[in-house]
Structure 1
Amino acid sequence: MYNKQQKKSMPSHLIYRELRLLLLVALVTFFRFRIKGKHNIPKKGSFIVAGNHTSYLDPIAVGVSMPMVVHFIAKEELVGPGLFGSVMSKIGMVPVKRGSQDVGVIKESLKYLRQGQVVGIFPEGGRVETPGFGEPRLGIGMLAAHSKVPVLPMYVKGTENLLSKRKKFGIPERIEARIGEPLEFKEDKNVHHKKDMYKEFSDKVMKSIANLKSAYEIGY
């Protein structure tokens, strides 16, 4: 059974489909949005979407790229009152209190994964506003280990400057989402400390995202 918070955060499938279509049309129309690697999306069952994070718009880009509801664990102020908060709630954002540790976020994520849902997570733990990627936290490794579901790496390009005050007018940059092959967490008996296994897998996820970025940059 879902708890009260889950029920509140669970978007209506009809509303979600309509909003997803509206946002997808908007992204395609104004930002020439395109998705590559859709064949890598699991056809059924729970899984985790793990992507880079440079903008508050990333959850929207990730969400419209998936044919199913993606529940992102986000700071509660992002799901607050106002138009933006309403949109975040409708696309499946799950609020957590600021300062929540990885363990709390993982527990909340597991509730959804065990009900057959899809959860989105940003391994870096927050937005990275500098070039390159941030150091991944252990959370993605812990979540993959405890849930035993595949992790779908994803790279989003083009959202990083859209909300910037320094953004110049003109033709907006194309937004592109690239989806990689699912990754499975496998326990390494040669590694004695779980934290080391979590870190090893978290690094593997970020490396996969980095490979997607490299493929994008060479136009592959």
Structure 2
Amino acid sequence: MQYNFFANVVRRLAYFVLKCIFSIRVEGKENIPEAPYIICANHRSYLDPVLIILIFDEPVYFMAKSELFKIWWLSPIIRAFGAFPVKRGKSDIGAIKKAIEIIRNNGILGIFPEGKRNRTNEIVLKGEKGVATVIKATGAKVLPVAICGKIRPFSKITVRIGRIIEFTDKDDDNQEMVDVIMQNVKNLIMNTNK
């Protein structure tokens, strides 16, 4: 699956603008597998999904908080790039079904397991268990991604793409699975697990 002409023009223009504002470096692109897989990344800024969409050549379908789809000008843009709503703070069966459908259709799913932006001094927050449900239902591989650096003008942002994680035992505890994913992301942020 590829972006259409219009989406590619928007992506290239947006990437050019961001490169003028930030110093962006990408590490580990050789670790990107063939679809389907799930990208699991840390989340500190509204720009995080934008960076991933611009860096990955194939479409990434992100779970996004349902409140964003109520913003009249933003909703059509994020929908055009494949985002779909998830209700935070409770089990959203519809969002889980949509995520499973994306993987089964050979797509790339983007999830921020922390469930919200990390505004603390912690390197990463504890991950939510929803991604484990999708992994168990589909057998999807997980690609850990770390977005490092402060999002402010002329700062340096490094996006580190880690090695694929595979879970083969459906009896694994959901929280333990998510903890493994978040530890991999944390290691990438600390630059100890390229």
TM category (shorter chain) comes to: 0.7 to 0.9
Paired position in structure 2 for 1:124: 114
Pairwise CA distance, 1:35? 0.9
1:81 and 1:150 map into 2 onto residues whose CA distance is 35
1:47 and 1:20 map into 2 onto residues whose CA distance is 21
Task: Calculate the TM-score normalised by the size of structure 1.
Answer: 0.78
Higher Cα radius of gyration: 1
Match of 2:166 among 184, 189, 193: 184
Aligned structure 1 segments of 4 or more residues deviating by more than 4 angstroms: 97-100
The alignment partner of 2:191 has SS state of helix
Task: Calculate the TM-score normalised by the size of structure 2.
Answer: 0.87
Which structure 1 residue ranges, 5 or more long, are not aligned?
Answer: 1-10, 163-170, 189-193
Match of 2:39 among 41, 45, 49: 49
Paired position in structure 1 for 2:31: 40
- Relative to structure 1, the CA distance from residue 215 to residue 12 in structure 2 (aligned partners, 3 Å threshold; closer, same or farther) is closer
Paired residues, number: 191
2:76 and 2:25 map into 1 onto residues whose CA distance is 25
RMSD value over aligned CA atoms?
Answer: 2.4
Match of 1:200 among 168, 176, 181: 176
Contact 2:40 2:110 in 1 (8 A): yes
State the AA in 2 paired with 1:45.
A
Q: Does residue 190 of structure 2 align to residue 214 of structure 1?
A: yes
Match of 2:77 among 87, 90, 102: 87
Contact 1:15 1:90 in 2 (8 A): no
Pairwise CA distance, 1:38? 0.4
Question: Percent identity at matched positions?
Answer: 32
Structure 1 segment 138-177 matched on structure 2, within 5 A: 138-158=129-149, 161-162=151-152, 172-177=154-159
Pairwise CA distance, 1:12? 5.9
2:129 and 2:93 map into 1 onto residues whose CA distance is 10
The alignment partner of 2:115 has SS state of coil
Determine which structure has the larger strand proportion and give its number: 2
State the AA in 2 paired with 1:53.
H
Superposed CA deviations along residues 33-78 of structure 1, whole A, max 9, x for unmatched, are: 1211100111x22110000011111110111121100000112332
- Relative to structure 1, the CA distance from residue 102 to residue 52 in structure 2 (aligned partners, 3 Å threshold; closer, same or farther) is farther
Which structure 2 residue ranges, 5 or more long, are not aligned?
Answer: none
Contact 2:85 2:95 in 1 (8 A): no
Superposed CA deviations along residues 104-161 of structure 1, whole A, max 9, x for unmatched, are: 4321201111111111001111111102211111112221111111110000123x54
State the AA in 1 paired with 2:159.
A
Match of 2:52 among 48, 56, 62: 62
Contact 1:28 1:34 in 2 (8 A): no
- Relative to structure 1, the CA distance from residue 187 to residue 70 in structure 2 (aligned partners, 3 Å threshold; closer, same or farther) is same
